[in-house]
Chains A and B, each alone.
Chain A
Amino acid sequence: QITLKESGPTLVKPTQTLTLTCTFSGFSLSTTGVGVGWIRQPPGKALEWLALIYWDDDKPYSPSLKSRLTITKDTSKNQVVLTMTNMDPVDTATYYCAHTEQLKNYAFDIWGQGTMVTVSS
């Protein structure tokens, strides 16, 4: 059974750096064809894809946020970490991590519960 859980601060100040951790079980990020992505959703708004990391360490980023994002994986700990620099109140959102695999054409098939991050001074 695949599960994912996001963790990190619930409140960050403007200009600070946000670090979110996705801890997962039920699969390995060293398995060919597997990946973990991050998607966010501002309150009352649509989903927005942020970044993705594959088993082979390929790391596509959202073009509009690429300069602020870094995604890394720790295969031994079954964790994926997303950092976002220079946080702004418009970055207030629920942040989700999700599993993806080649068998489903890399659709996000299993999602974490999400973690709400508020950006405010």
Chain B
Amino acid sequence: EIVMTQSPATLSVSPGERATLSCRASQSVSSNSAWYQQKPGQAPRLLIYGASTRATGIPARFSGNGSGTEFTLTISSLQSEDFAVYSCQQYNYWPWTFGQGTKVEIK
């Protein structure tokens, strides 16, 4: 099973600042990774797939990068609605696995 390790667990950021979240895979998953945003009481929402492609309707301030074992999600200028939990996922190998999540909170 591929283990997806996210860091940090919590990221404190002021509105308007840049946030960079990391996700590391225990072995290469090529570019077959995705990022999801989840707010309290809501289902996850797809942000990024293929490591760097924004999903439909996702603002340009969200960007993804990486391949192999190292992936990053960058939010260029945090808006109030961006404070949430972000999870990465690999879908290169069965079983599909998720990271434990990074909580982005208001500083």
The finding on whether chains A and B are genuine partners in a shared complex, rather than unrelated, reads: no
Which residues of B does A touch, CB under 8 Å?
none
Q: Which residues of A contact B (CB under 8 A)?
A: none
